[in-house]
């Protein structure tokens, strides 16, 4: 043992001690502040993994929830009443029975229960639609998909199987928080498998690689896209009306048609329905909103859905995204004018002008298509064979597909006016060609006159003409709403109560 010989050692020791002590304090301060950021990412309340009641989320996020409640605004508008031609075009299909303009998110479950398209199921008689129709209506959907995956099954395919009323008691809460948000971090989240699969097919990328700005549109693309039910997939999916986005070749009307042309039982084409008047195999376009948005000027510039449909609002010095998802024209000062300096009137006019000119094209296509359907029927009555009408029907299918793509994608006349005009021009051309071919077929069967259309001036007249018994359909719906729906709600109330009790225990 040696003794400490100088104070130098002590000074160095104290110096190192102080340095390490303060370095430790610094490290501690950094770590504390980083932890704050992690905590800030966490949800304000513990919602659990499958809380699907929007009002429970709303307790923690009052601004967002209150604006969401505003989606209640807006009345039902009957498209068929306004434009009876639409009933003709959808003859033989659910949309000829009942077709309303879209309403706010909060009405999702209510409206799908009320529409005549889902029919009036009873204990004995099933709905004409499958459970797939629930997919876009509620945050209860991913909850059920998870539940049905028990035992290693394909929960998604299991969900789609079965008639629409079989899951009625489970799908209760309308589109809301859990559809787009992670309950733990509130980060944007994709909850619908169809988009995950479609995005992969379209881009080759996993959707988790999408940037935050992309996510601000992708969460909307879970529903606001073109889709069809594919019953001819392999494995466990076989037989289930599997919700699929037709994006194998791309997102234009041509690309999506190519995808549908390849599907069906023998790969000769998908079939949504056989047209009641012309007996054409038809495609129903849904609402390719996301597809059109990205083909247009705003999408190309990377402006997300949420930028215009969920603008920033401020109240009491706080800023939040409005969850009253609606037309941006409702609050131009918070949407368009963030980037555009024109007056409200000028901006409104710019949108309306585009819409007016596209409605003109749309009406042209509709009128030609209505005539083509009736003329096909006339040709059949005169003895024309399916072989003779094959090309005509192909043209009708392709024309109406384009008309439908343009019309059903709400807002496309603003999102991508050029593309919509093009598609409608193609629709008009194809319908014109169909009628030209038809005149040749009719002439071959000795008819050169004009096919006289029946009276199709009102919705009621058209529905009677295409053989719909509306009184019966309405009665069935009424009985269903009176007898079955209250039972669903009762069952749901019990389930929600049991969740509350479980939460209390925790």
Partner 1 sequence: MFLTDIFNIEIMFSIKGKNMNGKTVILPIVAGIIVGLGFFILYVFNFTSYASEEPETCMNCHVMSTQYASWTHSSHFGEANCIDCHLPHDNFVHKLYFKANDGLRHSFIFLTRTEPEAIMIKKGGAVVVQENCIRCHKDVVTQIGGMLQGVENRKCWDCHRFTPHGRERSLFSVPNAEVPYINSATPMWLRKILEKK
Contacts to partner 1 by CB under 8 A: 1-4, 9-10, 12-13, 16, 19-20, 23-24, 26-27, 29-31, 33-38, 40-41, 61, 63-64, 186-188, 212-213, 301-302, 307, 311-312, 314, 317-320, 338-339
Taking the complex as a whole, the smallest distance from the CB of residue 105 to partner 1 amounts, in Å, to 18
Taking the complex as a whole, the smallest distance from the CB of residue 463 to partner 1 amounts, in Å, to 47
Residue 341 vs 504, nearer CB to partner 1: 341
Taking the complex as a whole, the smallest distance from the CB of residue 319 to partner 1 amounts, in Å, to 5
Residues pairing with 243 in the sheet: 229
Cα-to-chain-centroid distance, residue 334: 25
Residue 12 vs 443, nearer CB to partner 1: 12
Residues pairing with 321 in the sheet: 312
Taking the complex as a whole, the smallest distance from the CB of residue 504 to partner 1 amounts, in Å, to 26
Residue 41 vs 472, nearer CB to partner 1: 41
Residues pairing with 314 in the sheet: 319
Question: To which residue do tokens 């029975």 refer?
Answer: 97
Residue 188 vs 201, nearer CB to partner 1: 188
- d(C-alpha 374, C-alpha 302), whole Å: 44
Question: To which residue do tokens 């004009």 refer?
Answer: 450
Residue 46 vs 78, nearer CB to partner 1: 46
**Nearest to 99, CA basis, from 109, 85, 39, 346:** 85
Residue 40 vs 452, nearer CB to partner 1: 40
- d(C-alpha 27, C-alpha 31), whole Å: 6
Taking the complex as a whole, the smallest distance from the CB of residue 343 to partner 1 amounts, in Å, to 17
φ/ψ bin of 409: left (φ > 0), alpha (ψ from -120 to 50), beta (otherwise): beta
Taking the complex as a whole, the smallest distance from the CB of residue 418 to partner 1 amounts, in Å, to 22
- d(C-alpha 11, C-alpha 203), whole Å: 65
Question: To which residue do tokens 């859990």 refer?
Answer: 178
Residue 319 vs 504, nearer CB to partner 1: 319
**Nearest to 69, CA basis, from 98, 105, 97, 21:** 105
Taking the complex as a whole, the smallest distance from the CB of residue 298 to partner 1 amounts, in Å, to 12
Residue 395 neighbours by CB under 8 Å, 6+ apart: 372, 430, 431, 433, 434, 437
């Amino acid at each position: 043992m040696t003794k400490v010989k100088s104070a130098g050692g002590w000074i160095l020791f104290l110096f190192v001690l102080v340095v390490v002590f303060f370095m430790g304090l610094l490290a501690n301060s950094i770590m504390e502040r980083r932890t704050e950021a992690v905590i800030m990412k966490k949800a304000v309340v513990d919602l659990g993994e499958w809380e699907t009641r929007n009002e429970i989320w709303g307790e923690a996020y009052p601004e967002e929830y209150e604006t969401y409640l505003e989606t209640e605004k807006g009345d039902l508008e009957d498209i068929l009443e306004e434009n009876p031609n639409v009933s003709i075009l959808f003859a033989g299909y659910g949309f000829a029975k009942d077709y309303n303009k879209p309403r706010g998110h909060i009405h999702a479950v209510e409206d799908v229960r009320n529409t005549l398209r889902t029919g009036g199921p009873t204990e004995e008689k099933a709905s004409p639609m499958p459970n797939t129709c629930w997919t876009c209506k509620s945050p209860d959907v991913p909850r059920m998909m998870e539940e049905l995956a028990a035992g290693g099954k394909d929960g998604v395919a299991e969900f789609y199987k079965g008639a629409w009323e079989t899951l009625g008691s489970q799908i209760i809460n309308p589109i809301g928080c859990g559809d787009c948000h992670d309950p733990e971090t509130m980060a944007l989240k994709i909850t619908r498998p169809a988009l995950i699969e479609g995005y992969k097919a379209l881009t080759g990328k996993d959707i988790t690689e999408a940037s935050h700005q992309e996510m601000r549109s992708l969460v909307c693309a879970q529903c606001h896209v073109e889709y069809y039910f594919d019953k001819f997939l392999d494995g466990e999916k076989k037989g289930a009306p599997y919700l699929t986005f037709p994006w194998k070749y791309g997102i234009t009307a041509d690309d999506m048609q190519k995808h549908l042309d390849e599907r069906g039982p023998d790969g000769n084409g998908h079939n949504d329905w056989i047209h009641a008047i012309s007996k054409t195999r038809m495609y129903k376009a849904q609402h390719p909103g996301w597809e059109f948005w990205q083909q247009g000027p705003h999408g190309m510039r990377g402006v997300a859905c949420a930028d215009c449909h969920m603008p920033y609002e401020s109240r009491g010095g706080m800023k939040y995204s409005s969850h009253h998802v609606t037309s941006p024209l409702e609050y131009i000062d918070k949407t368009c004018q963030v980037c555009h300096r024109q007056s409200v009137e000028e901006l409104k006019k710019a949108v309306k002008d585009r819409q007016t000119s596209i409605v003109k094209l749309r009406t042209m296509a509709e009128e030609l298509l209505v005539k083509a359907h009736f003329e096909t029927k006339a040709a059949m009555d005169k003895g024309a064979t399916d072989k003779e009408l094959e090309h005509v029907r192909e043209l009708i299918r392709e024309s109406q597909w384009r008309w439908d793509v343009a019309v059903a994608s709400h807002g496309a006349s603003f999102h991508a006016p050029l593309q919509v005009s093009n598609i409608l021009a193609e629709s008009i051309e194809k319908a014109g060609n169909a009628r030209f071919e038809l005149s040749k077929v009719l002439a071959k069967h000795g008819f050169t006159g004009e096919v006289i259309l029946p009276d199709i001036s009102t919705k009621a007249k058209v529905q009677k003409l295409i053989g719909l018994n509306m009184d019966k359909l309405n009665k069935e719906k009424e009985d269903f709403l009176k007898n079955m729906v209250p039972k669903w709600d009762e069952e749901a109330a019990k389930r929600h109560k049991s969740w509350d009790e479980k939460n209390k225990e925790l």
